[in-house]
Amino acid sequence: MFPKTGTHVFVALRGGESGPTQDARRFYLGLSGRFEQIIEACRPRLENVFLDWLEQRLPTDIFSVLNLSGFSVEDPQEEPIRWVVSFETTGDKWLGITIPFVGDTAMEAEVDTC
Tell me the pLDDT tens digit for each residue of 26-65.
888 899 999 999 999 999 999 999 999 999 999 999 999 9
Dihedral angle computed from the Cα positions of residues 109, 90, 63 and 95, in that order, rounded to the nearest 10 degrees: 0
- DSSP 8-state class, residue 39: H
Say if residue 44 is preceded by a cis peptide, omega within 30 of 0: no
Tell me what the mean pLDDT of segment 99-103 comes to.
96
72 pLDDT band (50/70/90 cuts)?
very high
pLDDT of residue 22: 86
Question: What is the domain count for the chain?
Answer: 1
For residues 85-96, average pLDDT = 94
State pTM to two decimals: 0.90
Residue 86 included in any domain: yes
Tell me whether the omega of the peptide bond preceding residue 80 falls within 30 degrees of 0, making it cis.
yes
Domain that holds residue 44: 10-112
Does 22 map to a domain?
Answer: yes
Task: Indicate whether 4 belongs to any domain.
Answer: no
Q: Does 71 map to a domain?
A: yes
Residue of 77 and 71 predicted with greater confidence: 71
